[in-house]
Structure 1
Amino acid sequence: MERVSYHNTISDAISLIEASYTQFAFSRHYHLDFHIGLITHGEQKFNHNGKTNHVGHGQIVIMQPDELHDGKSTLEAGYQTRVFAIDPAWFQQLTDLQHPTHTLAFKQSIVSNTALFNHLKQTHCRLSTSHISQLEKDCLPFDGLYQLLEQFSTTKSISNYSLGVQSIHTLKEYLLEHLDQPVRLEQLSNLCHLSPTQFQRHFKNQMHITPYAWLYRLRLEQAMKLLQSGLSSTDVAYRVGFYDQAHFAKAFKQTYGVPPSQIIG
């Protein structure tokens, strides 16, 4: 049976997921945030960067923003996971990285380190409870995640994939500002000074996903953030461009495994 719980923390930049998946499978998708996952039971299989990976109990999965991947259980009993979803800007501040052309990255997507796993698991558990002091809530994210950064992070040049006169970054910013409006292929291609055919070809070559699938996921990623901020499901649906509440609820559950009503801000 699928069980998924989402928790906010003292920081708007960090949210927590605790889940148990048996039949549910994630289709190819990406995140706006870093996702640091701890496999606490069972085994998961996921495809990422053209490679099939298997991760099991005691291993850490690091999924960076905008990287396509999927995921499902390899065992009938399923798998359980605890996940930190972290805004990239929070990581940048934690490392004092201020170079405008560089960003934080991780050297690998799978980490096998028992001591670090246990440390992160304890951090996740404590952040999920209300029975700790305010000061501990404030300090725990830094204390819990700094070891991961210190051992496995690096910096890299920002990959600013070009689409005509625009970039993926500027296109994302444009769409985030217009999620509540119908988006046409002609709009996007004109924005990039490309023909519709050129735009589709360049986009698929750069992002390995169609423009409409990319926008669909962007809407749902933003919907999750808005629900966690405390907005109602009805309000969120309209803000991200779903004009039918039932359609939004179905799409959200297919994507995250739970209906939007279960996300409590």
Structure 2
Amino acid sequence: MDKQLPAGMPRFWRDPAIAGVELRLSSYDRRTFPKHSHDNYAIGLVETGESTFFFRGGSHRIGAGQLALIPPGEVHCCNPAGDSNWRYRMWHIAPGLMHGIAEEVAGTGARPCFRSPIADDHIVWGHLLHFSSLLQNSSGNAGDREEAMYASLSALLIRLGECRPRTDTARQPAAVRLAEEYLRTNIEETVTLETLANLTGLSPWHFLRLFKAAKGLPPHAFQTQLRINLARQLLREGDEIADVAYRTGFSDQCHFSRKFRQFTGATPGQYRAAQGF
């Protein structure tokens, strides 16, 4: 067990030899995160305290010893319940890595699907805790860390998930897919609701309802999430904070820092420093 973290001071670990894995250790005692989504699989392990977990339109309680299982693109948020001293580990796993392990478990084209967003499983818990301890010990053997990663994720999929055929993303309304592509392509621009409505040939009201129903967030919040995801990538690659703020369309560095911390629990400087820059 690590030393007690000051509330609101997360720590991050990555291993250059294991692409697509990031670990965050956090401790909070007050509401911190708005509704958001990730472009990766997010696997949380709650060590102490209890939190309110919003997922797929409903609120759940999750406490010590339980796991949170969140696929990419799912709108959610987790915040301490009451004055609970909430401490947890969160893994962000790249989709390509999870999909590869799913295919090894269930065959070509398989994709992970968790049976529940909250799980109790001491075997998966033990694997993840062991993987965490190796990832945090940079002086250890890289081969041991890689083996622990495969053992953890395969146990996760076998015991708590199902591997299903690839989902056809074309099932989303064409207007939503067109708008999402426009937001991704113009991530540095402030895109108005009227612009997206005109692009899709719908009224602003109709488009807003359609987009929010498909994505769980209104277009402006969705674009902010895209910007934060890109900012994380650029900071991991060593880009300067001021350059990242500019490239992701934030009005200034202060605005960028405030939004980044709101969505990740860390300042851009803390996050960048964790990558060794």
Q: TM-score, normalised by structure 1?
A: 0.89
Matched, 1:48 2:63: no
Equivalent pair of 2:22/2:91 in contact (CA under 8 Å):
yes
Q: Distance in 2 between matches of 1:209 and 1:177?
A: 18
Offset at 1:182? 3.2
1:28 and 1:70 in contact (8 A); partners too: yes
Match of 1:25 in 2: 32
Residues 54 and 197 (structure 1), Cα distance of their counterparts in 2 relative to 1, 3 Å cut:
closer
Pick aligned residue for 2:136 from 128, 134, 145 = 128
Tell me how far apart the structure 2 counterparts of residues 28 and 137 of structure 1 sit (CA, whole Å): 32
Q: Which runs of 4+ in 1 moved over 6 A?
A: none
> CA–CA distance in 1 between the matches of 2:111 and 2:119?
20
1:72-114 Cα distance to aligned partner (Å, 9 max, x none) = 1125242110111011121111122543xx6322111111012
CA apart distance, 1:177 = 3.0
Describe the shift of the 1:198–1:75 C-alpha distance in structure 2 as closer, same or farther (beyond 3 A): closer
Letter in 2 for 1:223: A
2:45 alignment partner AA: L
Q: Give the alignment partner of residue 145 of structure 1, picking from 135, 138, 153.
A: 153
The 3-state SS of whatever aligns with 2:25 is strand
Give the 5 Å matches for 1:78-89: 78-89=85-96
**Separation (CA, whole Å) in 2 of partners of 1:176 and 1:98:** 29
Distance 2:152 2:82 in 1: 30
Quote how far apart the aligned CAs of 1:263 are. Answer: 0.7
Corresponding residue of 1:261 = 269
| 1:3 alignment partner, one of 3, 9, 26 | 9
Residue of structure 2 aligned with 1:109, choices 114, 117, 129: 117
Asked if 2 retains the 8 angstrom alpha-carbon contact of 1:15 and 1:85, the reply is: yes
When the two structures are superposed, what TM-score results if normalisation uses the length of structure 2? 0.85
Mapped to 2, the partners of 1:77 and 1:167 lie a distance apart of 39
Alpha-carbon distance in structure 2 between the residues aligned to 1:48 and 1:166: 25
- 1:175 is displaced (CA, Å) by 2.6
Question: Aligned residue for 2:172?
Answer: 162
What residue ranges of structure 2 are gaps of 5+ in the alignment? 1-6
Contact 1:31 1:65 in 2 (8 A): yes
Separation in structure 1 between the aligned mates of residue 111 and residue 168 of structure 2, nearest angstrom: 6
CA drift of 1:25 comes to 2.5
Does 2:97 correspond to 1:90?
yes
In 2: Cα distance, 1:245 partner to 1:22 partner? 27
Q: How far off is 1:52 after superposition?
A: 1.9
Counterpart CA distance in 2 for 1:242 and 1:218 is 12
Aligned to 1:64: 71
**Higher relative strand content:** 1
Pairwise CA distance, 1:253: 1.7
Q: Aligned residues: percent identity?
A: 27
State how far apart, in whole Å, the 2-side matches of 1:185 and 1:33 are: 27
Given that residues 42 and 56 in structure 1 are in contact (C-alpha distance below 8 angstroms), is that contact kept between their aligned partners in structure 2?
yes
Deviation track 1:8-61 (CA, whole Å, cap 9, x = no partner) reads 223331111111111142111111111000001111111212322111111111
RMSD over aligned Cα atoms:
2.1
Structure 1 residue 71: deviation in Å?
1.6
**C-alpha distance 190-11 of structure 1, shift in aligned 2 (>3 A):** farther
Matched AA of 2:96: A
Q: Which segment drifts farther, 173-182 or 147-156?
A: 173-182
User: Structure 1, unaligned stretches of length 5 or more?
Assistant: none
The CA deviation string for residues 226-251 of structure 1, in whole angstroms up to 9 with x for no partner, is: 21222221121112111311111111
- Structure 1 counterpart SS, 2:72: coil
